[in-house]
């Protein structure tokens, strides 16, 4: 089955530690996205990548970093510079123009808690 | 002003009721519009796209008013399984970026 796999599903981190969230897709999508969701809030865009070896900052990129070395993979690192990293992180992929039939497919999410 | 605004609710309705959600967007050049459904602690999933002429999918009807920059979702004959958060989503004019509203929570009671 084609889809997006995020891991880990739950993660606990001590303050000051970096942590990397994995996102893998086998949908052959060119574009991949990372969103953050806080309780009772909508999704906010952290980073996105429309092609391998290229990525752009979203609305809340500070304290995060990404890489896109392979089409299938778009890992997100939450660095110690991120002041409030506890949140639900969602990875998504899409193919080209997102209008109409080409919509985003989401992974099941990673829930990060900083202790 | 937020780019996409929704009433967070919750909307508490009995089974069988009709309920409507509205969403306003600030960018008049926005290209496409969607409603996503998100269950508690799960990922969002596409419910339906919103077309200029309005569209219906079973008990769900979506409408777009470009002049007033709002979209709506109408749910008829509410079921317990409709309980979720409904996210209004707007695609930018470049066709490569989705902006999500904060969501409207619906709770359908027996």
pLDDT of B44 strictly over 70:
yes
pLDDT category at B93 given cuts 50, 70, 90 is confident
Q: How far, in Å, CA of A66 to CA of A55, rounded? A: 8
Residues 73-112 of A with CB under 8 A from B: 88, 90, 96-100, 103-104, 106-109, 111
Is the backbone peptide bond immediately before B10 cis, with ω within 30 degrees of 0?
A: yes
Predicted pLDDT of residue B97? 81
Beta bridge pairs of residue B25? B4
- Structure-model confidence comparison of residues A97 and A50, the more confident one: A50
Mean pLDDT, rounded, for B47-56:
88
Chain B residues whose C-beta sits inside 8 Å of any chain A C-beta: 4, 6, 8, 31-32, 34, 41-46, 49, 87, 91, 95-103
Distance CA B68, CA A74 (A): 38
Long-range contacts of range B45-52, CB-CB < 8 Å, 24 or more positions apart? B45/A106, B46/A103, B46/A104, B47/B73, B47/B86, B49/A100, B49/A103
The percent of residues in chain A predicted with pLDDT above 70, rounded, is 92
């Amino acid at each position: 089955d084609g889809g997006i796999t995020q891991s880990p599903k739950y993660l606990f981190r001590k303050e000051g530690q970096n942590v990397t969230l994995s996102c893998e897709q086998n949908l052959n999508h060119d574009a991949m996205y990372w969103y953050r969701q806080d309780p009772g809030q909508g999704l906010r865009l952290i980073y996105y990548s429309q092609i391998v070896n290229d990525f752009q900052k979203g609305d809340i990129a500070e304290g995060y970093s990404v890489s896109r070395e392979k089409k299938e993979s778009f890992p997100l690192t939450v660095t110690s510079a991120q002041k409030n990293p506890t949140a639900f992180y969602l990875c998504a992929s899409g193919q080209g123009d997102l209008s109409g039939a080409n919509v985003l497919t989401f992974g099941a999410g990673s829930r990060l808690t900083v202790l | 002003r937020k780019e996409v605004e929704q009433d967070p609710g919750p909307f508490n309705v009995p089974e069988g009721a009709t309920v409507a959600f509205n969403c306003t967007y600030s960018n008049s050049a926005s290209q496409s519009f969607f409603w996503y459904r998100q269950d508690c602690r799960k990922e969002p999933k596409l419910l339906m796209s919103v077309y200029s002429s309005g569209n219906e999918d079973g008990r769900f009807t979506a409408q777009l008013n470009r002049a007033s920059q709002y979209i709506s979702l109408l749910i008829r004959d509410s079921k317990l399984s409709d309980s979720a958060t409904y996210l209004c989503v707007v695609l930018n004019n470049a066709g490569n970026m989705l902006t999500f509203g904060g969501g409207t929570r619906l709770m359908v009671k027996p």
